[in-house]
Copies of this chain bind each other. A is one copy, B any other.
Amino acid sequence: MASTLPVGIGDDAAIFVPKAGHETILTCDWFLEGTHFLRNKHPADAVGWKCLARAVSDVAAMGGVPRCFLLSLALPETHLGRWLNDFLCGLRRASRRFHCALAGGDTTQRRDILINITVIGEVPAGKAVLRRGVQPDDILYVSGKLGEAERGLRQLQSRRGLADGKDRALRKHLYPEPRLTLGIWLREKRLATAMMDLSDGLSSDLPRLCLASGVGARIDASRLPGVQISSDSQTRGISPLQLALHGGDDYELLFAVPQRKARLIPSSLQGVPLTAIGEITRSRKIVLAEPSGREVPLKPGGWDPFRQSQAKR
């Protein structure tokens, strides 16, 4: 990365050399103790991975390639030792995996652990896949399974003490994988008319995609790629459908494809399932077609920091 980052940490600012013919993608994300993670539940290594992964996901959602990031970190003095080491270890692995180099940042002391990440990405000029651009009858797709991260969060909340970072059931919640390969593939093949990542849950994010183009959508409940859950959870009123509709933090991609191109979408890409879940409608309503065939309005039930005051994830 030496040539794209001639000046990194240690000067007043970093210097990034943009690639000719490309535009720069800019995104920033909070990752705050108590709001987005819990000190006594989330391993520092997972905090390091996830804070970068979720910001990189915004670059994936435009079909872009991440290049570098800035880290703003506020920590208690008690966390300068082992916690910081583990955090940097997870962050470094994410940085290598996503080919996204640390360019600079700002550190300060604070009672709470506060993280803010800015990711700088690139995309060939004029080729970014935006939220706007869908047409009525476009087919809506999602990658992966929906609700997997939320299921992991609930398991983590129900247990005592620090989560085991190696627990497979928690992996999607602790170590999300931004869908970079899929985003780039869709952009290069010009298959998606619009795209976004699912961070707050399908029921909250889909209306945003639709609003950008002044359209609506009909989602088919029976086609949603949900997760299996224990009979225990089912008894407590949690269903795979509820998790798939409202669960946050999946960082899967939601994208629209014109009908005539839908045959070009494979059932999976590099092991990640791609599922048609409904279509764009001229009417601005967002409706859910239940298995019975009945259509009901789909209301946002995902993550909203100004509606939910308790720590949710």
The listed residue (B11, B26, B116) touching A131 by CB distance below 8 A is B11
Q: Does A105 contact B (CB under 8 A)?
A: yes
Contact (Cβ within 8 A) B130 A7: yes
User: Is the CB–CB distance between A72 and B131 below 8 Å?
Assistant: no
Chain A residues numbered 1-29 whose CB sits less than 8 Å from any CB in chain B:
6-7, 10-18, 20, 22-29
Most buried by B among A58, A80, A108: A108
Contacts A24-B24, A32-B110, A106-B28 given; indicate if A15 touches B123 (C-beta within 8 A): yes
Q: Cβ of A35 < 8 Å from any Cβ of B?
A: yes
Bound complex: CA A288 to CA B261 (Å): 72
Contact of A23 among B18, B20, B27, B28 (CB under 8 A): B18
Question: In the complex, which residues 26-67 of chain A have their Cβ closer than 8 Å to any Cβ of chain B?
Answer: 26-30, 32, 35, 58-59, 61-62, 64
Smallest CB-CB separation from A64: which chain B residue?
Answer: B13
Question: With A and B bound together, what is the CA distance between A84 and B32 in angstroms?
Answer: 20
In chain A, positions 90-126 with a C-beta closer than 8 Å to chain B are: 103-110, 112, 114, 116, 118-121, 123, 125
Q: How far is the CA of A72 from the CA of B17 in the complex (A)?
A: 24
Structural contact, A106 and B30, CB atoms closer than 8 A = yes
Given contacts A109-B305, A110-B35, contact A27 B14 (CB under 8 A): yes
Kindly list chain B residues whose C-beta atoms are within 8 Å of the C-beta of A15: 23-26, 62, 123, 128
Copy number in this complex?
2
Cα–Cα distance between A7 and B58 once the two chains are bound (Å) = 13
A7, A58, A72, A106 pick with most chain B CB within 10 angstroms: A106
Q: A23-B15, A62-B12 are in contact. Are A7 and B128 (CB under 8 A)?
A: yes
- The answer to whether A59 touches B26, judged by C-beta atoms less than 8 angstroms apart, is no
CB-based contact A11/B110 at 8 Å: no
- Bound: A77/B306 CA distance, A: 7
Shortest C-beta distance, A130 to chain B (Å), equals 5
A58–B10 alpha-carbon span in the complex (Å): 12
- Whether a CB of chain B sits under 8 angstroms from the CB of A292 is no
Name which residue of chain B comes closest to A199, CB basis: B12
Whole-angstrom CA separation of A201 from B135 in the bound complex? 57
Question: Could you give, for residues 130-144 of chain A, a 1 whenever the CB lies within 8 Å of some chain B CB and a 0 otherwise?
Answer: 111000000000000
How far apart sit A35 and B106, CA to CA, in the bound complex (Å)? 13
Q: Which residues of B contact A22 (CB under 8 A)?
A: 18
Q: Can you name 21 A-B pairs with beta carbons within 8 Å?
A: A11-B196, A12-B27, A12-B59, A12-B197, A13-B27, A13-B58, A15-B24, A15-B26, A16-B25, A18-B18, A18-B24, A26-B103, A26-B118, A26-B120, A28-B70, A28-B116, A30-B114, A32-B108, A32-B114, A35-B74, A35-B110
